Amino acid sequence: MPGIFLLAGMGLQFPAGAVVVSLGDDGLVKMEINKALVRLDLWPTWLEIGCLHAEQAWVAGDRLNPELSDSEKYATLTDELQAGLVAVTALAFAVDGFYDTLRQELGVHPHQTTWRKKRTARHTQVTETFRFHLKLGPTFSGQLRTVLKELFEFRSRAVHPNSKFADLSYRPQIDSGVHPHLVTFSGPHAVQCRALVLELLDRIIARAAEQSRPGADKGWLDRGREELDRLSALYRLPGDDLPAFPHETPS
């Protein structure tokens, strides 16, 4: 078998019978590997994509001001929207991916079959699975549910768009009304989503490490912690999780 190249988030496993040890005619011990299994947890990749594009959306949005020409506003809002769409959806994919990794390691929730039949909302399934396996308290579970409900709703708006007319939203940076997508997927909102996801994953991974059984394989947590800490050092800034826009439009 040729060599195996591993990326961050990949795991390697040799199933029973894959490693064959024999004694050669020359009296030397030989070892052959006839089968290897690999696994790639994509949530760190999606997390990095989300973090990077949130930064790009922020940079674009930071260029907005009322003095720009209409063509400059058009180009800048387009750049911001494109980066913001990728950022918010990627951050939602990151949480969803970590959820799948946790289920692979710790098992599905006992109510999984019922949820599938009842078409239970995704954010509820994710929250309840984390709560069940990690023994999360009601306060953090409630916070988690609230954030994931909104984050997954943002993702749904991006991947299942519609062409209905909608009320205007206000962008103070250009003192203008805009389509709601230009607020949902704006630089400030993308950065806020990034900060919240980094914080939630930090607390969830820490809790998973605390709850792990002695002797259990924690490689998935160690790899996740390493990637999360690297991205947090680059992108996690105090205050980024504060609301990005006022709820009321100025009169």
Query: What is the rounded average pLDDT of the residues 221-242?
Result: 90
Q: Is it the case that residue 232 has pLDDT exceeding 50?
A: yes
CB-based contacts of 33, cutoff 8 Å, min separation 6: 1, 14, 18, 19, 20
| Whole-number pLDDT of residue 249 | 42
pLDDT of amino acid 248: 46
Condensed to tens digits (0 to 9), the pLDDT of residues 108-154 reads 999 999 999 999 999 999 999 999 999 999 999 999 999 999 999 99
pLDDT at 229 over 90: yes
What is residue 251's predicted lDDT score, i.e. its pLDDT?
Answer: 38
Across all residues in the chain, what is the average pLDDT? 90
> Mean per-residue pLDDT for 58-76?
96
Pair of tokens at residue 103: 């289920």
Average pLDDT value for residue range 235-245: 77
43 and 93 Cβ atoms separated by less than 8 Å: yes
pLDDT, tens digit (0-9, with 9 covering 90-100), for 82-100? 999 999 999 999 999 999 9
pLDDT above 90 (res 10): no
Cα separation, 230 vs 233, in Å, equals: 5
pLDDT per residue as tens digits for the range 16-39: 877 888 887 787 888 787 788 888
Residues ≥6 apart with Cβ < 8 Å to 216: none
User: pTM higher than 0.95 for the full model?
Assistant: no
The pLDDT tens digits for 155-167 are: 999 999 888 999 9
Domain residue spans of the chain: 1-40, 42-235
Q: Residue 244: its pLDDT value, please?
A: 64
Residue 177 pLDDT exceeds 80: yes
Confidence of residue 250 (pLDDT cuts 50, 70, 90): very low
**Considering Cα of 50, then 195, then 199, then 242, what sign does the dihedral take?**
negative
